[in-house]
Copies of this chain bind each other. A is one copy, B any other.
Amino acid sequence: MTFSSQLLENAVNEFAKLPGIGKKTALRLVLHLIKQPEKDVSHFSEVMAKMRKEISFCTKCHNVSDQPVCNICSNPSRKQQLICVVESIRDVIAIESTQQFNGTYHVLGGIISPLDGIGPETLQIESLVNRVKQDEVQEIIFALNPNIQGDTTVYYIGRKLKETPVKITTIARGIAFGGELEYADEMTLAKSITNRIPIEHYIATAG
């Protein structure tokens, strides 16, 4: 791409550093910003710089937070003895959007993946084990993606917690709503039969 303006080129290059944004998309975004009032663009800039500068993480669950302890961990109406273990902040937002979970979270910051150089010591596993012991946690629910790395992580943490009385569960695997049986993979279909649910329970939790 050939630019007639260095300012334009710099802005396009900055946007193109973002994941999933190519040069053409970056140009489209910058040309959009050029058309906006100057104060809107300076507001955009300020919000980004301020966010990066001031954002912090909950000392308990490692979710993003504006206070030392996030508003989920500090909410007295949420069960502190029920922890949902997730890979990233994105998963917290996804589960919170369902409005079905009233426990707390623990953000690992990744999953164990030796091939990518991510070992257990780089994740927030130590602090999870401490929480389970100190807060007398009754149940932890693993909500990790269903793949080898996710299963390895579940297994590793499960072993670390063997000595504690905590109950360990994982979210249900099965056929998604709107999914078609004939297109489901064999593994999912097999698991959905093994872990079948009594009809009374299914009806009670429907909707």
A residues bordering B, Cβ < 8 Å?
1-8, 10-11, 14, 17-21, 25, 27-34, 36, 38, 41-55, 58, 63-66, 70-72, 88-90, 92-93, 96-97, 99
Contacts and interface: CB of A to CB of B under 8 A. Distances in A.
Contacts of A30: 51
A27 B93 contact: yes
A48 B89 contact: no
Nearest to A41: B52
A14 B40 CA distance: 10
- How many copies of the shown chain assemble into the complex? 2
Contact of A48 (B41, B66, B71): B41
A42 to B, nearest CB: 5
A198 B29 CA distance: 42
A186 to B, nearest CB: 29
Nearest to A13: B47
28 contacts: A1-B97, A2-B93, A4-B64, A4-B70, A4-B71, A4-B96, A5-B65, A7-B55, A7-B66, A8-B64, A11-B47, A11-B51, A14-B44, A18-B29, A18-B32, A19-B29, A19-B32, A21-B29, A27-B93, A33-B48, A34-B51, A34-B52, A36-B52, A41-B48, A41-B51, A41-B52, A42-B53, A45-B48
